[in-house]
Amino acid sequence: MWDLATHSLDVAKLRGAKYADVRVMHLRQRDLTTKNGHIGTLAQTESIGLGIRVLANGAWGFASTDQLTREGVAACAAHAVSIAKASALAKRRDVTMVDEQPFVDSWQSPFRKDPFEIPLESQLALLLAADAEMRRVKGVTLTETDMQFRKIDSWFASSIGSRIHQRKVISGCGIVATAFQGDEIQKRSYPNSFGGQHALAGYELVDSLELLQHAPIIAEEAAALHSAAQCPQKTGTLILGGSQLGLQIHESVGHPIELDRVLGEEANFAGTSFLTLEKLNHLRYGSDIVNVVADARIEHGPGLGSFAYDDEGVPAQCTDIIKDGQFRGYLSNRETAKIIGLQRSSGTMRTESWNRLPIIRMTNVSLRPGTWEHEDLISDTDDGIFMETNKSWSIDDRRYQFQFSTEIGWEIKGGKKVRMLKNPSYGGITTEFWNSCDAICSAKHWTLWGTPNCGKGQPMQTMGTGHGASPARFRNVQIGTAFSEQ
């Protein structure tokens, strides 16, 4: 692989590139699903190829190919340079970047059980058993389970001399029970919706989830939601479970801190950001207890945003995003860091595959744990609603106004969960919401949730991101907004 990578860089330089970086990537994926006791998807995918990004005439070009021969990668590199020269026909300035050192390294994400080595029969047997547990519950009309495993090798080389090999193993698993009755469809997912939990881990992730114990619980809840009371519409106290808070972080912190959005590079599609440059170090983003980091280092945990180097050859870092409630940092790359006067990229360039250009992506954007025990948080709440497991999410294109709904809610009265609520939802304005946070649970309740389906870029790229969170409480929140009528 190094020979092909180096050869493409050489061709790019010969054709006039002032800078080039190249990724040869080999991606393997296994997808398993069941539905109502039968196998749904049973598939494996493999893809290998090379993508090269070049800077020529002061502008960028990128080309990719699956023809992994010296001739194939040479043609690809030459094409990238010709594209860069075409880009220069519509440039306003020459692209410049902050300096970065060359690195020569090899890294593998830690895992205990290679999911591709676990017998498929046992993987399917576990899913079918969980599926059967859910179907035992009266009122459940649809049961679904899934597992997804990925192994990604990437060989990164750049014209400044970096040569970095990384191997990542990613696992994901989840189950869902749906109940249709009357004029409502209700569902419950475990351990999270939209595919369950995903992590930079091996099959040990699946082992840890205890699917068979949780299957009947969520199935009972899905059926019970039909007789639950409707979530009220009011302004009040909200406690979010960890996975829902993880998505809240993703949408209302993670996306607005992407510096490409801030600088208008995503204006046509993903949108821009309310976090304009003058707000850095001046905006009170949240209350004093809100501390958020973007941490790609493996010591943060086995998140979907963990790696050793980003896809621009910059080492993984931990960046303060919100410190004691104050807005402190962006997600940047070498080009955007230069534009706003930073000394170094924060190392967040990531690509979905060899045929996609690396762009700024979230790494692990996590809320630091607080001090509360979960039980104490409930008992300290006189009147509130606890919501968990995301059902829908939406936020405006500058990331101010959001609305989320969850699969299930619980009314809290006098410090106790007193009854189940269906169709819970809440909404608000990002900074007002984070400033209303008055309690965050401790590290004991903190989980690094994986969001496997973050879409961004044109052509669209799907990326996995990590979000550490423990349950937290927010005051004076608009509740029940999804069903509000004027």
- C-beta of 120 vs 418, nearer to other proteins: 120
**Other Cβ atoms within 10 Å of 71 Cβ, number:** 9
**Is residue 82 near other proteins by the rule CB under 8 A?**
yes
Cα-to-chain-centroid distance, residue 448:
11
Instruction: Retrieve residue 111's tokens.
Output: 């895992």
The only residue of 3, 90, 117, 299 in contact with other proteins, by rule CB under 8 A: 90
Using rule CB under 8 A, residue 33 touches other proteins: yes
Min dist. Cβ of residue 458 to other proteins (A):
5
The sign of the dihedral angle between the CA atoms of 222, 228, 233, 235 is negative
Amino acid at 43: A
Q: Least Å distance between CB 20 and other proteins?
A: 14
Residue type, 440: I
Beta strands in 104-210 (DSSP E): 104-108, 142-158, 163-181, 184-190, 197-199
Number of residues counted as binding other proteins (CB under 8 A): 95
Q: Based on the shown chain and the rule CB under 8 A, indicate whether residue 271 belongs to the binding site for other proteins.
A: yes
Task: Tell me if 121 contacts other proteins by CB under 8 A.
Answer: yes
What six digits make up the tokens of 345? 């990229």
CB of 4 to other proteins, least distance (A): 13
Interaction of residue 83 with other proteins, rule CB under 8 A? yes
Q: Does 2 bind other proteins (CB under 8 A)?
A: no
Q: What are φ and ψ of residue 480, in 5° steps?
A: 80, 20
| N residues, the chain | 486
Query: How far out from the chain centre does Cα 302 lie?
Result: 13
Residue 480 Cβ vs other proteins, minimum distance, rounded to whole Å: 10
Listed residue (443, 433, 442) closest to 401, CA to CA = 433
Q: What's the closest the beta carbon of residue 418 comes to other proteins, in angstroms?
A: 25
Candidates 69-77, 158-166, 360-368, 369-377; binding stretch for other proteins (CB under 8 A) = 69-77
Antiparallel, parallel or unpaired: β 416-422 and 229-230: parallel
Range list of H helices, 97-151: 120-135
| Residue 254 DSSP code | I
Task: Print the binding letters for residues 362-401 with other proteins: x by CB under 8 A, - otherwise.
Answer: -----------------------------xxxxxxxx-xx
Do 25 and 354 form a contact (C-beta atoms < 8 A)?
A: yes
Near other proteins in 184-203, by CB under 8 A: 184-185
- Tell me: does residue 264 bind other proteins (CB under 8 A): yes
Single out the residue of 1, 48, 97, 280 in contact with other proteins (rule: CB under 8 A): 48
Beta bridge partners of 198: 172
For position 63 contacting other proteins by CB under 8 A, the verdict is: yes
Query: Applying CB under 8 A, does 72 fall inside the site for other proteins?
Result: yes
Specify the residue for token string 């405006």: 396
Given the complex with other proteins, which of 259 and 439 has the nearer CB atom?
Answer: 259
Among 1, 13, 40, 376, binds other proteins (CB under 8 A): 40
283 binds other proteins (CB under 8 A): no
